[in-house]
Amino acid sequence: MKRILWAVVVLCVLTDMGVPAFGARKRPKKPAAPPREEKPISPPSMRVPPSMASFTDDMSALAKQVGLDEKQVAKLTALRKRRDEALAKQDQADRKRIESMQARIDRAKRDSDRQRLTRELDRSTERIQRTLAALAAQHERTMFFILTPDQKAKWNAPILQSEVEKLFASLGLTDTQKEQIQALCEAQAKRLSVPASSQTAGYTIKSLASQVSLRVLTREQRAQYAKDRADRSKSRRPREPVRRDRDRPNL
């Protein structure tokens, strides 16, 4: 009897010490959980300098279109070089600023700090882009000043006409109507002192569209144009979220 009790005591001691019972299979140890990997915060892509289009990009085509003389070509070429140098210098300084802010994001330890710095970088990038665009526009005005009023109109009128006709492309404009639009655009182009583009001449294009609607379009075309504008306006409105009554009991 004592031997049996002694065997039971020994078995209990071994079990308490972590020794597996006789015949029991050893349980494999659970692999250590890998360290929690922080989700990387995607920094904004490095700003690539936007293509600052200029009316002087193709000097030979410009000279042919508006009738530049040799002195004007020489002045515009020199001003274009000065413009490119100024933009490159500004862009280099901006890149250093962005790289410095990006380095701060990379060194940040906490997600909250990285998110905050990323938002700051986004705002700084937007300011930098606006500054660069304003600098380019300033040089564009200086170069456009070299042109005579007639030359300015020759450059701006085709751009305005192209943008205005796009607004009425679905109405089936006649050749006579296109000539009337051309006359309106040429008259408006003489009043502009800056090179026009679809990005910078929004107000002028809108004003011309109103004139075309009142003075060029037929009654049927005017009604169709109003309908098209209403449809485009509706398509741009944000859609309201669909409400679902999930708590409604099934009948």
Q: With contact defined as beta carbons under 8 Å apart, do 143 and 65 qualify?
A: no
Three-state SS for 56? coil
Q: What is the rounded CA–CA span in Å between residue 54 and residue 167? A: 24
Determine the distance from the C-alpha atom of residue 225 to the mean position of all C-alpha atoms in its chain, rounded to a whole number: 29
Q: Per residue in 39-93, pLDDT tens? A: 433 333 434 344 578 899 999 999 999 999 999 999 999 999 999 999 999 988 8
Residue 162 has which token pair?
A: 């192209």
pLDDT reported for residue 29: 56
pLDDT reported for residue 1: 53
Q: Per residue in 74-83, pLDDT tens? A: 999 999 999 9
Q: What is the rounded CA–CA span in Å between residue 159 and residue 163? A: 6
pLDDT reported for residue 50: 45
Spans of the chain below 70 pLDDT: 1-51, 236-251
Q: What is the rounded CA–CA span in Å between residue 104 and residue 120? A: 11
Q: With contact defined as beta carbons under 8 Å apart, do 129 and 50 qualify?
A: yes
The verdict on pTM exceeding 0.85 is no
